[in-house]
Amino acid sequence: MSKNISNSAIIGIGHPLFDLIVSNVDEKFLQRYQLESDNVILANDDDDDDIHHTLTDDLLKYFENIQYVPGGSVQNTIRVAQWFFDQPKICTIFGCIGNDDFGRQMKEKIENIDNVQSIYCIDNEKPTGKCICLINIDSGGHHHRSLITFWDACHKFRMEILQQNLSILNDAKIIYTSGFFLVSNPECVQLLAELCQKSIDIKFAFNLSGSYVVKNYSQRLLKIFPYIDLLFGNITETFSFARTLDWIQNENNDKIDDIVEKMVHLESTKTNRIVIITQGPGEIIVGTTRNSIQRFSVPSIPFDEINDTNGSGDAFVGGFLAYYLIGRSINDCIDAGIYAAQQVIRCCGCTLPKVNKLRLLSK
């Protein structure tokens, strides 16, 4: 049981995408758009001659079995966190969408199905960002995915939206953003970090997001690092961070505990930073300023139950934040995160089952 919680207790600020998932796409269709199975690419939004710009129209024209799911790393996490509560609008997402049907559909799904409050700024020039997932099945029955992302309106987020909603932000308990958003909106992330620093009641949660963020935007990351209360990342990003700061020269698993310990104690304005590092199906490593390094094993699940690993990391963070919000132990937060991740990987895209065995019910 959980006590009644105020609206917008967990706020995420990121890049909302609308995921379009299409099954049974043949190789000929992939070749037409110079796409490959089991590959991920980023479309060139600024090139009108980019061959991928007609992809969405052709999907709508030739396929009827399109699944539409709200996506984007931070938005996935916020949706999953809300999934743990029977009380609506505990979680809120900020982002930018286009003035189009996809944006309207996503907002409707976020609010009416996921019960998340959305505060989107609208861009009238760029369309809503999309991630298109094309699934093809080979002769052996194995599923392969080709992913292509169109950022479009995502990168048009405006600082004024945060400034207009400072009362909501100041009442939050957790504010969560990511390295992806830091790349496109460093001033917004700095504002959020400083806002959290001014209040002992608001935790600033941050996700490293990708090795290229750590490597190419290290100065931006180090600038906001002192404000971070909760840091999430995976093992690859962690090693990249350590190399960037010259803590190590090469990846060495024997050094990971030392790296996490250094991340915990790296310049901080806070008294109890928590660093959570995932390793896929491997152990989760947690470091805090008050305890030594802890390791948590991840229960295995049958291989044939794994449908799609995309979004599992986002889901883990969502489960962790939901339980952290109500003051549960690190062990319970980790368990909730693992449960969420293992539910999502059984689905296609970051879709959420109706049943949540760890749901937190209001008194």
The residues assigned a catalytic role are 314
* Phi, psi dihedral angles at 94 (to 5 degrees): -105, 145
CA distance 242 to 251: 9
What are 2's two structure tokens?
């959980």
Considering only CA atoms, which of 15, 173, 186, 192 is closest in space to residue 90? 173
Give me the helices (H) in the chain, please.
Answer: 27-32, 55-62, 73-83, 101-112, 159-164, 166-170, 179-184, 186-197, 211-216, 218-224, 235-244, 256-265, 312-325, 330-344
Place of tokens 């990121």: 14
Q: Strand 91-98 and strand 143-150: pairing?
A: unpaired
Give me the helices (H) in 199-356, please.
Answer: 211-216, 218-224, 235-244, 256-265, 312-325, 330-344
Q: Strand 274-279 and strand 294-296: pairing?
A: unpaired
CA distance 327 to 163: 29
Rg of the chain over CA atoms, in angstroms? Answer: 20
Alpha-carbon dihedral of residues 332, 336, 341, 347, nearest 10 degrees?
Answer: 150
* 123 strand-pairing partners: 98
